[in-house]
Amino acid sequence: MEQKTFFIRAEFCTGCGICQLACSLVKEKEANPAKARIFIERVVMDGLMIPHICLNCRKPSCIEACRRGAITKDAQTGWVTIDKEKCNNCMLCVSACPFSAIVVTPEREVLLCDVCGGNPKCAEMCPTGAIQFADRAKGVAGSTDKAAVNIFQT
């Protein structure tokens, strides 16, 4: 079965944060980028933006790190989700994630993207295609290294 996940192309991210606003409205019923399941890291004086969101790894290190069995990966869809009933916000998963994709709110609560059940609002509303939700075998990701070099080259 086709498995879909996120592909990030940082070189196209304009830093508008529409994805964060959409996510917080969907998930938290408020406008609050700090509580979105996607985080935009802003470097080079807001000249390079790097979106961080759960990439639904094949072998997620967050699952290995979690001592409460709160994080699971669905065998069919491949999506990695967190069970907030079991999670105690210890943040071991946050340290374990190699992509800085697990968000910690100002109240120290751990948040993980659940791909909106397969129709992620962030990807729907990204104006440049910097975040795409596509078949794992077909999607194209851009390397952050390339984006970083390019911002000073014409």
Footprint of another protein (CB under 8 A):
14-18, 21-22, 24-26, 28-35, 42-43, 45-48, 105-106, 125, 127-128, 150-154
Minimum CB distance to another protein smaller for 100 or for 150: 150
Q: How far is the CB of 15 from another protein (least distance, A)?
A: 6
Distance CA 84, CA 89 (A): 9
User: 62 or 101, CB closer to another protein?
Assistant: 101
Cβ 18 to another protein shortest distance, Å? 6
Cβ closest to another protein, residue 20 vs residue 56 = 20
Structure tokens at 34: 């700090």
Task: Specify the residue, 64 or 151, whose C-beta has the smaller distance to another protein.
Answer: 151
State the minimum distance, in angstroms, from the CB of residue 107 to another protein: 9
Q: Residue 140 Cβ, how far from another protein at the closest point, in Å? A: 19
Sign of the CA dihedral with 106 first, then 112, 113, and 116 last: negative
- Which residues touch 123 (CB under 8 Å, ≥6 apart)? 6, 19, 131, 132, 133
